[in-house]
């Protein structure tokens, strides 16, 4: 059972902001702190950087304040008997959040969902909380955390969103202020693949999509996916997919074309086509 008492996101307070609840709350309080802040932990004031989180247990003193600048956070005050909350390993201690944008989006969704009252709301809230705590668990478990985790996650997203850019290891390592060997070691440990393998994967996935759904020539597709040499593109495509781009397009066209019976197949599944 999960019951959200109070929730909000993107709250902004002045640089003299202080929140103090000496007796704590009767429920859990989760803060996603998006600015620098100062927290009272074990009777000591500690400074935490932006993109930190803390889960306060019921009854634990809550004290936090701005750190000489605007204070910003997302928050959830809630009751729960779910094991993923009750057994969360890091309570009453701040930890860095490796993917704050992802967590921020989940809190926004929880805020919106909690404002409605429908038959499915309770189930949706439970699922969203589970995903949020799964993401926070990763951050908490890794809080001895490699200081570069967030930057590596941002790099990983950027590669897959823009695989056509002229990526190279030297440019990536300079952007993250790491040596090329250190970048490759950290990236492989975090994602299980190398930076350039992900660039190639992203480019070829985009090429497959364009071969299926556009009439662009092979050369145009190669260029739009970041290849300056069409022969190099075709060679990599064949190594990755076991066929040439032309063969891939013919097979995709064949599989998605309609037959006279009004049925067509796509991805090995049969569909019925209806006319207006």
Q: What CATH number corresponds to the domain at position 61?
A: 2.60.120.280
Pair 32, 106 in one domain: yes
Pair 154, 127 in one domain: no
Q: Which residue has the higher pLDDT, 144 or 16?
A: 16
Owning domain of residue 215: 149-256
How confident is the model over 113-139, as pLDDT tens digits?
Answer: 998 877 788 899 999 999 999 999 988
Domain end marker among 97, 116, 141:
141
Q: Is residue 203 part of a domain?
A: yes
Pair 80, 201 in one domain: no
Pair 36, 114 in one domain: yes
Which range (98-112, 143-157, 212-226, 235-249) has the least confidence? 143-157
Domain end marker among 104, 123, 141:
141
Could you give the number of structural domains in the chain? 2
Pair 36, 121 in one domain: yes
Q: Which of 76, 82, 78 is nearest to 104 (CA)?
A: 76
Q: Is residue 125 part of a domain?
A: yes
Q: Is residue 265 part of a domain?
A: no
Provide mean pLDDT across the span 157-180.
Answer: 92
pLDDT value at position 145?
A: 46
| Residue 12 in this model has a pLDDT that exceeds 70 | yes
pLDDT value at position 147?
A: 61
Q: Which residues are within 8 A (CB) of 188 and not within 5 positions of it... i.e. 6 or more apart?
A: 194
What is the model's pTM? Answer: 0.62
Q: Is residue 193 part of a domain?
A: yes
Pair 156, 205 in one domain: yes
Q: Is residue 99 part of a domain?
A: yes
Q: Is residue 276 part of a domain?
A: no
Q: Is residue 270 part of a domain?
A: no
């Amino acid at each position: 059972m999960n019951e959200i008492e109070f929730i909000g996101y993107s709250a902004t307070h002045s640089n003299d902001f202080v929140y103090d609840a000496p007796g704590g709350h009767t429920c859990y309080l989760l803060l996603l702190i998006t600015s620098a802040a100062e927290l009272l932990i074990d009777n000591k004031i500690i400074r935490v950087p932006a993109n930190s989180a803390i889960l306060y247990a019921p009854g634990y003193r809550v004290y936090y304040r701005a750190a000489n600048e605007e204070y910003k956070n997302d928050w959830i005050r809630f009751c729960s008997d779910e094991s993923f909350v009750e057994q969360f390993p890091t309570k009453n201690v701040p930890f860095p959040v490796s993917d704050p944008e992802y967590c921020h989006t989940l809190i926004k969704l929880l805020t919106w969902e909690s404002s409605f009252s429908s038959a499915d709301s309770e189930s949706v809230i439970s699922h969203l909380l589970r995903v949020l705590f799964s993401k926070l668990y990763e951050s908490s478990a890794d809080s001895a955390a490699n200081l570069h985790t967030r930057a590596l996650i941002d790099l990983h997203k950027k590669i897959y969103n823009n695989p056509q850019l002229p990526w190279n290891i030297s440019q990536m390592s300079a952007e993250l202020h790491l040596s090329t060997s250190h970048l490759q070691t950290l990236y492989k440990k975090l994602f299980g693949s190398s930076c350039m393998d992900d660039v190639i994967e992203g480019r070829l996935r985009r090429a497959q999509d364009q071969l299926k759904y556009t009439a662009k020539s092979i050369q145009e597709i190669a260029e739009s996916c970041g290849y300056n040499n069409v022969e190099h593109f075709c060679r990599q495509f064949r190594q990755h997919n076991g066929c040439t781009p032309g063969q891939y397009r013919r097979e995709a066209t064949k599989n998605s074309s309609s037959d006279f019976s009004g049925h067509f197949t796509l991805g090995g599944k049969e569909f019925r086509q209806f006319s207006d």
